[in-house]
Structure 1
Amino acid sequence: MSSDRKDDHVRLATEQNRGRLRGNDFDDVRFVHHALGAVDIDTVSLATRVGARDWPVPLYINGMTGGSASTALINRDLGIVARETGIPVASGSMSRMFSDSSAGEGFRVIRDENPDGLVFANVSANATVEQAREAVGMLRADALQIHINSVQEIVMPEGDRAFSHWPERIERIVAGLDVPVIVKEVGFGMSGSTVSRLAGLGVGIVDVSGRGGTDFAAIENARRTGADFSILSGWGQSAIVGLLDAQHAAASSGVSLLASGGVRTPLDAVRALALGASAVGVAGGFLRTLRDDGIDALIAEITRWLEQIRSITALLGHTTVAGLTETDAVIGGEVRDYCQARDIDITAFARRSENESEARS
């Protein structure tokens, strides 16, 4: 995994995420407005429970960079931003440091700049238990992300071609670490059956990371000189349908769901929280702001996101993030069609506040 490839990823991801406010599945979720339902904004807490730990806010910077000199500078800046805003931050894939130990400093800088915040290490599903421990130790990480990315690997010219050993590797890492493990897609989504399978491997936190954000198949295809894999454009599920598909699997297993991929605005974040995500990750959009406008601009943007998430939560009548799962949400469009095809009942979402009131009475 060369440093040039890492730099290509950042360049192509930044280009993709310029003008990224186009429609996606998040627009198929609409809240029912109750005109007398709002609460005081200053009563709203943004604390959220993820797995066995409380997070200060339901927003995090998702893994995206690392492994080259230029991405080390981005990691430094992200560490500063996370420190100043108080949000958790994940490293990009740390696999490069297993073949080049000098690359480790480009990841460690996240913790150096953010000594007291929540920081997540990141490895691939090919990692051994020893490599996973090394990544966690390098960052003094509070959790480990394992990314699963078979679509990206297929399109990547130098990518992996063997995937059947991934479940066994994930299970061994979960058993061999003393920090929580978060298994995440890289933008192609999760099915409910995948979440159930991960729960069976001991995984307690799953990021459904869906399509609509940074498209790593398109990024890898842009690096190819031979076969054209544009035929995979649009592959996978969105975070919204991933949350809906996984709701029963998560509830029955106790898995905490995270959502990322295609999150464009604070309203999108609240939509995901209302559909069962404990927290919401953003990568490409924040990277674009950082590269185009700098650290101060990204700090201001994240501060605004948190203020607006708090305001929308109050508008919807809740004082906690967990309360958003009682919000009335009407689901339409392609998401409704997907749910009908998968036999996922979405009708109850539109009357959740009534059902909750009846349950309390």
Structure 2
Amino acid sequence: MSKRSRRKMEHIKYSLLLEKKLKRNVFSDITLLHNCLSEVNLDEIDISTNLQNLRLEKPIIINAITGGFSFALAINRELAKIAREFGLAMAVGSQRIAIKDKSAQASFKVVREENPEGLIFANIGADASLEEVAEVVEMINADAVQIHLNTPQEIVMAEGRKCFAGTVDNIKRIAAGVKVPVIVKEVGFGIAREEARMLVDCGVKIIDVGGAGGTDFIAIENRRNRKNAVTTLEGWGIPTPVSLIEVISEIGDRADIIASGGLKTGLDVAKSLALGAKAAGLAGTVLYKLLKGGPVALRKYLRQVERELRYSMAMVGANNLSELRKRPLIITGKTYKWLKFRGIQIKPR
């Protein structure tokens, strides 16, 4: 087994261990305003959405998890089957390994094989060349490509990159030179409004905020390299709802936003969409449910998430996601204080 494959296995191992201790409550400062006069027909609620020219039957994405080794093939096969069954878009994990090791491609190609008509997102780092991006897109006949940002993880990871010069210019080249939609995605540390503005100026039309509150890759790397662990940096980043508000307040409708990072429930998804996200990504809990309870448990979980989303919409009187975004919500606690300090106007709807 290659070092890269072993590293990916260790990421799975430690993410599962940390998931058991993780309290996913990143949206506790956000409250949707109840509508006692809701006239919604629950069976007619429309939860479809769009990411640029991509139509999503449901606003829930099985976000990037893994790929590149034999066990990952089994994981991705099950995820692809479930994505097809539930009508969900799905992203694969970083495909860098499959560029360097062609034998690893099967663990990614299986997603398209199991879900030939579904929405599939390729994935590679922000240092990739245009040729590499084109290769990972072609590998799985992807409908879009995630360009992931993971500077903190790379810095802490013993074998990670330490120089990030040229990242912005490279993203600009990718956005201009790739035929499918480009999604720039953080991996658990969030995006601030300043960088969101830069991304849009680079031509990026879809941003996944990937905020703090879910899988912590600094914590994972600390467990992989205990001798040089930097535990003081665990928890680093911008909380997901804060990042979401920062980005949307800055760029408005110049790009479509995906909320991810610590989301667990359908209510979390509803709050994200009410704040202005076009879709929501789930990853850590999805992996945990699959590996600890099997496909049956994951199916049960995803049905519950969708049910909670629909119930939440009915209780605020929203027939569709556009109406959900117009419903008043209340922001309190640390989130309110953060936004006030940053000078981000919170106008009651």
> Which category describes the TM-score, using the shorter chain as reference length?
over 0.9
Cα-to-partner distance string for 1:312-345 (whole Å, 9 max, x where unaligned)? 1111111111221111111001101101110112
Cα-to-partner distance string for 1:185-234 (whole Å, 9 max, x where unaligned)? 00000001111100111100000010110000100111114322111122
Pick which of 50-59 and 101-110 moved more. Answer: 50-59
Amino acid at match of 2:193: G
Q: CA deviation at 1:11?
A: 0.9
Percent pairwise identity = 39
* Aligned partner of residue 15 in structure 2, secondary structure: helix
Matched, 1:310 2:304: no
Q: How does 1:53-72 map to 2 (within 5 A)?
A: 53-72=54-73
Aligned counterpart, 2:10: 8
In the aligned structure 2, how far is the partner of 1:102 from the partner of 1:40? 50
Cα-to-partner distance string for 1:267-294 (whole Å, 9 max, x where unaligned)? 0110110001100000000100000111
Q: How does 1:1-361 map to 2 (within 5 A)?
A: 2-18=4-20, 20=22, 22=23, 24-251=25-252, 254-346=254-346, 348-349=347-348, 352=349
In the aligned structure 2, how far is the partner of 1:134 from the partner of 1:272? 33
Q: Is the 8 A contact 2:265 2:308 kept in 1?
A: no
Pick which of 240-249 and 108-117 moved more. Answer: 240-249
In the aligned structure 1, how far is the partner of 2:71 from the partner of 2:268? 30
Cα-to-partner distance string for 1:91-113 (whole Å, 9 max, x where unaligned)? 00001012111111110001111
In the aligned structure 1, how far is the partner of 2:144 from the partner of 2:32? 33
Q: Is the 8 A contact 1:266 1:306 kept in 2?
A: yes
Amino acid at match of 1:327: R
Q: Is the 8 A contact 2:24 2:262 kept in 1?
A: no
RMSD (CA atoms): 1.3
Task: Name structure 1 gaps, 5 residues minimum.
Answer: 353-361
Q: CA deviation at 1:305?
A: 1.4
Pick which of 123-132 and 224-233 moved more. Answer: 224-233
* Aligned partner of residue 226 in structure 1, secondary structure: helix
In the aligned structure 2, how far is the partner of 1:192 from the partner of 1:38? 37
* Aligned partner of residue 34 in structure 2, secondary structure: coil
Q: Is the 8 A contact 1:258 1:278 kept in 2?
A: yes
Q: CA deviation at 1:248?
A: 2.7
Cα-to-partner distance string for 1:121-156 (whole Å, 9 max, x where unaligned)? 000011110110010001100000000000000110
Amino acid at match of 1:268: D
Amino acid at match of 1:276: G
TM-score (norm 2): 0.97
* Aligned partner of residue 122 in structure 1, secondary structure: strand
In the aligned structure 1, how far is the partner of 2:53 from the partner of 2:84? 22
Pick which of 199-208 and 321-330 moved more. Answer: 321-330
Aligned counterpart, 1:359: none
* Aligned partner of residue 26 in structure 1, secondary structure: coil
The total of aligned residue pairs comes to 347
Q: Is the 8 A contact 1:250 1:256 kept in 2?
A: no
Q: CA deviation at 1:53?
A: 2.3
Amino acid at match of 1:285: T
Aligned counterpart, 1:358: none
Q: CA deviation at 1:14?
A: 1.3
Q: Is the 8 A contact 1:208 1:239 kept in 2?
A: yes
Q: Is the 8 A contact 2:267 2:312 kept in 1?
A: yes
In the aligned structure 2, how far is the partner of 1:156 from the partner of 1:81? 32
Cα-to-partner distance string for 1:43-76 (whole Å, 9 max, x where unaligned)? 2101012123221111010001011111111111
In the aligned structure 1, how far is the partner of 2:24 from the partner of 2:105? 38
Pick which of 290-299 and 111-120 moved more. Answer: 290-299
Q: CA deviation at 1:23?
A: 5.5
Q: Is the 8 A contact 1:239 1:260 kept in 2?
A: yes
* Aligned partner of residue 88 in structure 2, secondary structure: coil
In the aligned structure 2, how far is the partner of 1:23 from the partner of 1:52? 32
Amino acid at match of 1:101: K
Q: Is the 8 A contact 1:147 1:186 kept in 2?
A: yes
In the aligned structure 1, how far is the partner of 2:143 from the partner of 2:221? 30
Where in structure 1 do 4 or more consecutive aligned residues deviate above 6 Å? none
In the aligned structure 2, how far is the partner of 1:225 from the partner of 1:27? 32
In the aligned structure 2, how far is the partner of 1:5 from the partner of 1:154? 15
* Aligned partner of residue 2 in structure 1, secondary structure: helix
Aligned counterpart, 1:356: none
